[in-house]
A and B are shown apart, each in its own frame.
Chain A
């Protein structure tokens, strides 16, 4: 029982700054001599260790771009870590995007079978739960045999949630997908999540909604600059996050604060921008990196 369901040890992943741009063959061949991580490599997540026991609901807290979603994807296994390891015991339902897998040209019915199977449900399971799914999604009878591309985005999301509500995976990884649909549907979603947690399932939740986090989570992981800053109760984690944010607000409010040298200012601003640099990079390098991206701003700081 005490064996952790999710166990991360020294977890880290490295991205190069110019990703999302495929390289040309020429670049790749000519650039082959460069060492790895030469240009703008950064670690969105590094040196993160934690254990999550069965039945826990853990919220991940932090600013935009501090690696929350990346961490969730590492746990889900849709990213492979460059450092450390993460182990998950039991089947995982990564609910990272509710509409994932829907094909616009297939009907709602066909999509339920397709996506349900992608999540690992058997045909029988889906047969049994089909009516419940359609009911939950609040789809009108005539819509279910219509191609999904004719659905409104709300209908698609509702169908997606209705489907994952039927999953029996013991581990749930949720990325901001709790608050979908109108008020009424949202209440149904909350009810479902509470039922799942009452079943003793384990959940990791990434959210910016404090209310959601406080409602479901007991424990909070506070991520700052890709590292795990705090692993504590959710209230404490949210408070620490709040405090850091307030402190930064204040800093931003008084840019001409005396005592800060030019380099220090650049350093602080780099930190505030939520830059992807790892926390232990020397300040000069960070300033330089930032300067390259925003030459005008860097010039003023110097």
Chain B
């Protein structure tokens, strides 16, 4: 296993090239390429702000109170941008191997690089959203803390990288053999969006007495909940995850990576035959 990791490390230049190729192909041909890719999160943020921020005039449960720096709009943006990273990884994951079948069946290289490349490309896309996030932070007067920048931000990014890599390995492999994966992914995407407190601050569920205990416990076992709480906590210290949520998040990400890589290795020979 160590030798395989080493082989991927030796191929890092190839991974970099494939990532750059994807970005080039994506942003090429339209001057507005970058603007287009930012339009989706901005439109989503606009819609949710319109519905929940303006139409329903209720307690939106922004962590740290309604007048926390940045307000509900920054809460939306700071959740939606990393969510988009996650959602696009999830959407593309089933195709990470199939879409390179030509290369995989004709060139000798560690097959791991294709899921790694897919995950890395989505991470690069996420990094490109930072200028927009920062623009909103400055415009809305958002504030961060030392803990937010030094603990929550790197931890959130690491956990999400681990999670999305494991998820890509798992789904890309299984999708070669079983064709239901793409459909499942679409449903999962929708459910996880509302289950992971992207636009609804988790406090509205966790601190409410409308939900039975088993439900709130289950809610906290979603590893993505902690992940997005961390992303929010960079700007809203009050949203920092507690011990249970944090450990399910970190443990869940590691578990997904282990299961994903084990599946990949176990099914590799069959996958090569099917491509």
Q: Which residues of A contact B (CB under 8 A)?
A: 13, 15, 19-20, 22-25, 28, 73, 76-80, 82, 92, 94, 96-97, 100-101, 103, 105-106, 110, 113-114, 117-119
Contact = CB atoms under 8 A, between A and B. Distances in A.
B47 interface: no
A262 to B, nearest CB: 35
Question: Which of B18, B106, B178 is the most central at the interface, judged by chain A CB atoms within 10 Å of its CB?
Answer: B106
A73 B275 CA distance: 13
A24 B179 contact: yes
Q: Is the interface of B mostly helix, strand, loop or mixed?
A: helix
B101 to A, nearest CB: 10
A22 B177 contact: yes
A101 B107 CA distance: 9
B24 A22 contact: no
A114 B14 CA distance: 8
Contact of B25 (A15, A92, A105, A113): A105
B178 A19 contact: no
Interface of B: 13-14, 17-18, 21, 24-25, 28-29, 102-109, 176-180, 268-269, 272-274
Contacts of A117: 13-14, 17
Contacts, number: 75
A19 B177 CA distance: 9
B96 to A, nearest CB: 16
A25 B177 CA distance: 9
B178 A96 contact: no
Given A79-B273, A103-B21, A23 B13 contact: no
B177 A28 contact: yes
A110 B24 contact: yes
Contact of A23 (B28, B109, B179): B179
Contacts of A100: 102-103, 106-107
B179 A118 contact: no
Contacts of B108: 76-78, 92, 94
Contacts of A96: 105-106
B274 A19 contact: yes
27 contacts: A13-B273, A20-B274, A22-B177, A22-B179, A22-B274, A23-B179, A24-B180, A25-B178, A25-B180, A28-B178, A78-B107, A78-B272, A80-B269, A82-B269, A94-B106, A96-B105, A101-B102, A101-B103, A103-B25, A105-B25, A105-B28, A106-B25, A110-B24, A113-B17, A114-B18, A117-B14, A118-B14
